């Protein structure tokens, strides 16, 4: 026996793997699976589609363009880049209760935050509070790396430099008098951005960390003075700054400005007339951009989006139609049985 084994030293192993006999599942696109599959998927899609569509319809959205392109618009005079500290007021009314919590967005169109060099023009090390990068910001920030006096810009880069700086105040007009709708600016940015990605250097007062640096060219206030009302909301962890720094994927976008969750308006905005006071600073006319504010509430599926619901409905119906077509083809041609 031993001898025989030695003689067969080159005999390959008899395993399912080497002999390619591994047990396997061999599915096939048979009529019994495909046609019912399409029907089931179709019906499921129609179901989801209806749910999405109904949900989406229940979401209220109010969009107000305040760019001031036409001279009839209230902000027309502010759209002139030469006007400084221009404030304009937009009046609008709500017919029925705008259910809360209401979210207040600003939107920009034709604004290319997704332009490659714009997106890259930042320094994550600096923004995470590393003081070394305060003195010498990364090269990606150029040309917003140093100012003309060769002083480092903090926060450097094009994104930070172009931070949106219009501010809004919303009033409800109750019998001729304006009642300020309280805005909640806390927690409008991602938790991870606020806690991990962006950090202020651990220097107190914060101002000292910014010694020997200059504020971005387009900014009116340095980073450590962004929110005079709340000292904790300054520097790189200012909520508005965080929202702006999360750059948009597409050239038309909206960003969260404030939430309306407090006081009389916790349940939503009651029907009535409102007045929006805008401190108009941000120039968009030069590149044919538009600015708008959006008031919206949300559902389990996020903001209003008709597309998903309609797409599910259409594709679900197509699946059902397709399954009928396949059934006809199957019945008519079947599977040719001849060899």
The region of 66-74, 88-96, 200-208, 294-302 touching another protein under the rule CB under 8 A is: 294-302
Provide the minimum distance between the beta carbon of 43 and another protein in the complex, in angstroms, as a whole number.
Answer: 13
Query: How far apart, in whole angstroms, are the C-alpha atoms of residue 236 and residue 233?
Result: 8
Return the residue of 40, 54, 174, 298 that touches another protein, per CB under 8 A.
298
Residue 202 neighbours by CB distance under 10 Å:
9
Nearer CB in complex with another protein: 118/171? 118
Window 61 to 90, contacts with another protein (CB under 8 A): none
Provide the minimum distance between the beta carbon of 178 and another protein in the complex, in angstroms, as a whole number.
Answer: 25
Window 188 to 207, contacts with another protein (CB under 8 A): 188-193, 196-197
Query: How far apart, in whole angstroms, are the C-alpha atoms of residue 337 and residue 339?
Result: 6
Exposure b/e, 102-123, CB count within 10 A at least 16 = b: bbbbbbbbebebeeeebbebbb
Kindly state whether residue 308 participates in binding another protein, applying the rule CB under 8 A.
Answer: yes
Window 238 to 267, contacts with another protein (CB under 8 A): 243, 246-256, 259
Beta bridge partner(s), residue 274? 92, 172
Window 93 to 132, contacts with another protein (CB under 8 A): 101, 103, 105, 110-119, 121, 123-125, 128, 130
Provide the minimum distance between the beta carbon of 177 and another protein in the complex, in angstroms, as a whole number.
Answer: 29
Going by C-alpha positions, the residue among 208, 207, 219 that lies closest to residue 147 is 219
Nearer CB in complex with another protein: 40/232? 40
Query: How far apart, in whole angstroms, are the C-alpha atoms of residue 310 and residue 305?
Result: 9
Q: What are the two backbone dihedrals, phi and then psi, of residue 311, each rounded to the nearest 5 degrees?
A: -60, -45
Kindly state whether residue 135 participates in binding another protein, applying the rule CB under 8 A.
Answer: no
Nearer CB in complex with another protein: 110/273? 110
Provide the minimum distance between the beta carbon of 154 and another protein in the complex, in angstroms, as a whole number.
Answer: 16
Going by C-alpha positions, the residue among 64, 56, 61 that lies closest to residue 106 is 64
Beta bridge partner(s), residue 277? 89, 169
Exposure b/e, 267-298, CB count within 10 A at least 16 = b: ebbeeeebbbebebbbebeeeebbbbbbbbbe
Total residues at the site for another protein (CB under 8 A)?
108
Kindly state whether residue 10 participates in binding another protein, applying the rule CB under 8 A.
Answer: yes
Nearer CB in complex with another protein: 13/70? 13
Provide the minimum distance between the beta carbon of 208 and another protein in the complex, in angstroms, as a whole number.
Answer: 22
Total residues belonging to the chain = 339
Query: How far apart, in whole angstroms, are the C-alpha atoms of residue 224 and residue 302?
Result: 33
Provide the minimum distance between the beta carbon of 98 and another protein in the complex, in angstroms, as a whole number.
Answer: 14
Window 24 to 53, contacts with another protein (CB under 8 A): 24-31, 34, 37-38, 41, 45, 48, 52
Nearer CB in complex with another protein: 54/174? 54
Kindly state whether residue 176 participates in binding another protein, applying the rule CB under 8 A.
Answer: no
Provide the minimum distance between the beta carbon of 236 and another protein in the complex, in angstroms, as a whole number.
Answer: 13
Kindly state whether residue 182 participates in binding another protein, applying the rule CB under 8 A.
Answer: no
Nearer CB in complex with another protein: 29/71? 29
**Under DSSP, is residue 39 helix (H, G, I), strand (E, B) or coil?**
helix
Q: How far is CA 266 from CA 191, 216, 257, 261, 334, in A?
A: 23, 37, 17, 4, 63
Return the residue of 173, 305, 317, 324 that touches another protein, per CB under 8 A.
305
């Amino acid at each position: 026996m031993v001898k025989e084994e030695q003689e067969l030293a080159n005999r390959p192993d008899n395993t399912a793997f080497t002999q390619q006999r591994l047990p396997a599942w061999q599915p096939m696109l048979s009529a019994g699976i495909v046609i019912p599959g399409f029907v089931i998927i179709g019906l499921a899609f129609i179901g989801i589609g209806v749910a999405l569509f109904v949900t989406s319809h229940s979401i209220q959205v109010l969009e107000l363009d305040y760019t001031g392109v036409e001279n009839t618009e209230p902000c027309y005079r502010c759209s002139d880049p030469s006007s400084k500290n221009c404030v304009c007021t937009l009046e609008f009314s709500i017919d029925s209760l705008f259910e809360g919590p209401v979210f207040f967005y600003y939107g920009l169109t034709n604004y290319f935050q997704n332009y490659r060099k714009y997106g890259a023009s930042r320094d994550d090390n600096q923004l995470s509070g590393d003081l070394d990068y305060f003195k010498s910001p990364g090269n990606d920030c150029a040309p917003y790396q140093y100012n003309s006096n060769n002083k480092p810009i903090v926060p450097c880069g094009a994104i930070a430099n172009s931070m949106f700086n219009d501010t809004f105040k919303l009033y409800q007009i109750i019998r001729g008098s304006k009642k300020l709708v309280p805005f909640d600016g806390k927690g409008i940015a991602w938790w991870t951005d606020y806690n991990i990605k962006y950090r202020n250097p651990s220097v107190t007062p914060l101002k000292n960390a910014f010694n020997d640096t200059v504020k971005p060219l387009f900014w009116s206030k340095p980073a450590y003075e962004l929110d005079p009302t709340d000292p904790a909301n300054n520097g790189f962890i200012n909520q508005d700054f965080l929202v702006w720094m999360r750059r948009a994927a597409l050239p038309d976008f909206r960003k969260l400005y404030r939430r309306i969750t407090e006081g009389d308006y916790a349940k939503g905005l009651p029907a009535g007339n409102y007045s929006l006071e805008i401190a108009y600073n941000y120039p968009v006319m030069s590149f044919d951009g538009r600015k708008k504010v959006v008031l919206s509430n949300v559902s389990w599926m996020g903001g209003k989006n008709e597309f998903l619901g309609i797409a599910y409905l259409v594709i679900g119906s197509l699946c059902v139609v397709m399954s009928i077509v396949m059934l006809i083809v199957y019945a008519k041609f079947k599977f040719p049985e001849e060899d």
